[in-house]
Each structure stands twice: as C-alpha cells, then as structure tokens.
Chains A and B, each alone.
Chain A
Amino acid sequence: MKNFKENLSERIFFLLALSALSVLALITVFIFIKGVPIISKVGLKNFVFGMKWAPSQGAYGIFPMIVGSISVTLGAAIIGVPIAICCSIFLAEFAPETLRNIFRPAIQLLAGIPSVVYGFWGVLFIVPLIRNYLGGPGLSILAGSIILAIMILPTIISITEVSILALPRHYKDGALALGLTHWQTIWFLLLPAAKSGIVAAIILGLGRAIGETMAVIMVVGNAVALPESILDPVRTLTTNIGIEMGYASGEHQQALFATGIVLFIIIMIMNATAQYITRKK
C-alpha cells in the first residue's frame, strides 16, 4: 500500500514538472509555426537586415529594431552594471549588518515594482529631464537605458553579491595574511575569483533588459528609424510586438511572431552563455 502511494505521488510530481517543460515547448513551437512562413517568404536576410518596416506595403525589415534593442540594452549595461557591482561589493564586504538589512529588502523591492510604473515614472520624470537639459524629443535611447538600468539592478546586485559571498573564506584570509589591505583584497582577489558569477549576473540582467516591453514602450518613442544619437527615439523588438499585435492580422501578424523568434533566439543565446560561464568555473 505504502509503495503504491509513493509511486503515485512520484508520478504526480513528475507530471507537474513535465507541464512546465511542455509549456515552454508549446510556446516555442507556436511562435516558430506562426513566424517561420513570413521569414521564408521575405527571406531571412531581408527580414533581419531590411531597413523598411511598412506592413501595409508588405515591407518587413526589422534591422532598425534590432539596433534599437541592442542600443537600449547596451546603454542599460553601461549605466547599470558599474552601479550594481559597486553596490554588491559594498553589501558583501563593507556594509555593517544593520545597513545590510535595510539595503537587501529595498533592492528586492525594486524588483517587485511593476514595469508599467517604471515606464510611467520615466515618462513623467526622466523624459522631460532629457528634453529640457539635453535636447531632442526626450523619448529616446537614453531614457530607455536609464529606466532599464534601474530595472536590472536587483538581478545583477543579488547574483553578484551571492557569488562574492560564496567564495571560500580562506581566499580572503590568504590575501589579508599577505598584508594586502581590504581594498587590495577585493580588487586582486575577490573580483577576479567571482568573475564568472559576475559575468553571468550581467548577462542575466541584460537578458531581462532586452526582453522588457512595457516600460520601454512608454519612454523610447517607438519610431522605426536608425538612431543617430542616444537622444533619438527608437523602436525595440519587444515594443514592435507590443504596439502592433493589437491590430495586426495575416502576414503582418506573422511578421510580429517572426520578430518574436529573433528576440527568442537572442535571449536564448544570452542565457546559454550565462549558464556556460557559471558552469565553467
């Protein structure tokens, strides 16, 4: 009797675990079935490198959006990564217990704010700031980068902090015993040793940045054109889907799914890289 129960519960757990996997498979298959026909019709090269996006005229080129996604994400990295890494070094190495207990939940809370709220705040605060002080329409790569930089902070900070704290204690003892100062120990030892964890944290953070939609729609302006400066508006892959899916049909809808495929592949590559780096150690 007991054996039967054990077996049954094991099976149920397995089925539930399987359902998570099958949802992933279903989504993947679905977007590929929906998106691949238009890519083969337009041609992969024309689709990925095409400069013109005009669904009403049958022109489906997403290159400006790829540039948009990459530039916004890169901007987020340039602004967010140094802040995040300094913050995690502070938390792991310098912060006294009491301060740490304030910082950690606060950073976690940052991850809990809905992205539409970030977007709203960006429109009301960041965008006018850029428009008034730097010029341009304000809705821009820079605005998107700043919002995304804030949004990826929690991911990068927590993973980096964990990978610094996970280092064997004797590393630090060894360095301090050599007469290194605390700062030298961090610089020469802890950061190089935690490198793989930190790189993985950055890539995961950027994966989140490149996939973010709602906050980005609200602040980047969404113009389909190659940007010339960081003050120009852009459209990203995600915002393209987010804006047009509501009314698209036929080939147009397929093209949005195809945009999803490109995004899917980019994020897959980033996550796989992060996993590979963490495993390599």
Chain B
Amino acid sequence: MREQSKINIKNLNFYYGEKQVIKDLSLEIPKNEIFAILGPANSGITTLLRTLNRLCHLTPEARQEGEVFLDGKNIFDSDVSVTELRRRVGMVFDVPTTLPMSIFDNVALGPSLRGIKSKKILEEEVEKALRMSALWDDVKDRLHTPAARLSGGQQQRLCIARVLALEPEVILLDRPCSALDPISTAKIEESLMQLKEELTIIIAPHSIQQAGRIADRVAFMLMGDLIEEGPTQDVFSVPKDQRTNDYLTGRYG
C-alpha cells in the first residue's frame, strides 16, 4: 500500500442478484488528488462510487466480495457505522438532490445533525461551505428562499456545499455536471481544483475532456473491468491498452 493512498480497494466483486457489475477490481486512490473514473455507460462506475459509501447496499439484491479500506480500515467491517462513513465519504449525484427546504437549511442540515446548535456557528459553517462551492455570491441575499427555485447549476453547487458542510474526507461525484451548462460546469471544476487541497475527490466525469481538465489520475473501466489506471498525462498520451485508446479516440462510448 502506497503511503498516501486514502482509499484502497482490494479484489472487489459486486453483484446485483446474478449479474456481476464489478469484476475483481483493485485500485488505490491517493490523498488530495482528483481521481477520475472513465468509461462508457454500464461499466460499473456508478456502482463503484456508491460502494465506497455503502449506498449500494440499499438495493435489496446487492452483495459484494472483497475489501475497501478507508485510511486502512475496511468499510465493510461490522463495527463501521454506515451513517458515520457516509459523513466521511460524501456523495454528489448526477441530478441535484436538493431537499425540499430553504437554501440555508439544506446546507445547515449536516452540521446541525452533527450536533452544532449555535445559530452563529451554523451561519459561519453555511457561509464557508457555500463559498467553497462558489455559490455564496449567487445566494447570499436569499438564503431563506426554497432551494428548488435555484437553477440546475446552482442546485448542483448547493449539493456540493451541503456535502462540504459535513467536512468529509472524500467526496464522490457521479457525473455531477451532466445536466449543467458550460459556465456552471466551469465554476464547479474550479471549486474542485481548490477543494483537493483539503480532501480527496473521486469523480465520474461526464466527458473525457473534463477528466483531462481536472484529474490528476484517471482509471478506465469497461463492463465491470478495470482496464488501466495511471496519471492523467500518461493514460491520455500513451494508453497501455488498445481498448483505452479506442475509447479515448472516440471509437465507442
């Protein structure tokens, strides 16, 4: 195990009933980097991300084999608290999952559940999280309006802020920009670049170009198999596997 790896996946197999969606996958994800997982639809990327905070297990027929270590601790161990894990490993989905309440309450929900009662501290936390996700200037005058009134891009940044307010160590982003315009996308990418100073980011980018812009390392998955993995530069310029090359040059995907 490399010294700085935050997450270490060992021989992970994942099944929905009879169908195997992740096949014997081993991967190390280093700390304080943006790690992008590329691949066409149905490659098991969403499942992989959802495994890392055990959201996957909400599906009744799901089961996994193998181990996932977070800071050296297997997240499948029976003494791991799932809610605690999910606070440490936050997740942003492909559609904004704003909750039906005000902008402020959306962000404050995490900290207040963590036990912060003081209104002043909550306000500070909310502002900090909204600044980090580059949303503060858009919403500072209307924090108490319903979150549903924000545009799609703003809602997605609100979801990022909400996750950040939990002060996670890792955030998982599953095609976070797939429904967004280029300007919102650029803003989110910019905040991610800053955020990696403090945490580890794992993203399923919505395009190869996005991976190229922001990722330090990329992995390429196809039909549940990890094909290859390495620093973005290396994988993009000299892919080791023909299938990676075909994907990157647009033969399929």
Contacts and interface: CB of A to CB of B under 8 A. Distances in A.
B113 interface: yes
B97 interface: yes
Contacts of B166: 178-179
B55 A175 contact: no
A193 B84 CA distance: 25
Q: Which of A174, A179, A188, A192 has most B Cβ within 10 Å?
A: A179
Interface residues of A, number: 16
Given A170-B93, A192-B101, A176 B55 contact: yes
A121 to B, nearest CB: 39
Interface string A174-201: 1111111100100011001100000000
A173 interface: yes
A184 B99 contact: no
B86 A179 contact: yes
A173 B97 contact: yes
B183 interface: no
Contact of B93 (A174, A179, A193): A174
Given A173-B93, A176-B55, A176-B58, A181 B101 contact: no
A171 B99 contact: yes
A189 B83 contact: no
A35 B55 CA distance: 62
Contacts of B55: 173, 176-177
B100 A178 contact: no
Given A170-B95, A174-B93, A174-B159, A180 B113 contact: yes
A184 B97 contact: no
B52 to A, nearest CB: 11
B99 A174 contact: yes
B93 A176 contact: no
A180 B98 CA distance: 14
A180 B87 CA distance: 9
Nearest to B90: A177
B163 interface: yes
Contact of B84 (A173, A179, A192): A179
Contacts of A189: 99-100
Chain A binding surface, main DSSP class: helix
A178 B112 CA distance: 12
A179 B97 contact: no
B103 to A, nearest CB: 15
Interface string A114-140: 000000000000000000000000000
A83 to B, nearest CB: 25
A67 B91 CA distance: 54
Nearest to B94: A170
Contacts of A173: 55, 58, 93, 97
Nearest to A185: B99
B99 A175 contact: yes
A194 B144 CA distance: 21
Contacts of A193: 99-100
Interface in B151-166: 159, 162-163, 166
B53 interface: yes
Interface in A256-279: none
B109 interface: yes
A181 B93 contact: no
A98 to B, nearest CB: 13
Interface string B57-88: 01000000000000000000000000111110
Contact of B83 (A174, A181, A192): A181
A188 B84 contact: no
B30 interface: no
B110 interface: yes
A177 B101 contact: no
A179 B83 contact: yes
Interface of A: 170-171, 173-181, 184, 188-189, 192-193
Those 10 A-B pairs whose CB atoms lie nearest each other, nearest first: A174-B97, A179-B87, A177-B91, A179-B86, A179-B83, A193-B100, A170-B97, A192-B100, A189-B99, A170-B95
Given A174-B159, A175-B97, A179-B86, 17 more contacts: A171-B99, A173-B55, A173-B97, A174-B99, A177-B93, A177-B163, A178-B86, A178-B87, A178-B90, A178-B109, A178-B113, A178-B162, A178-B163, A179-B84, A179-B85, A179-B113, A189-B100
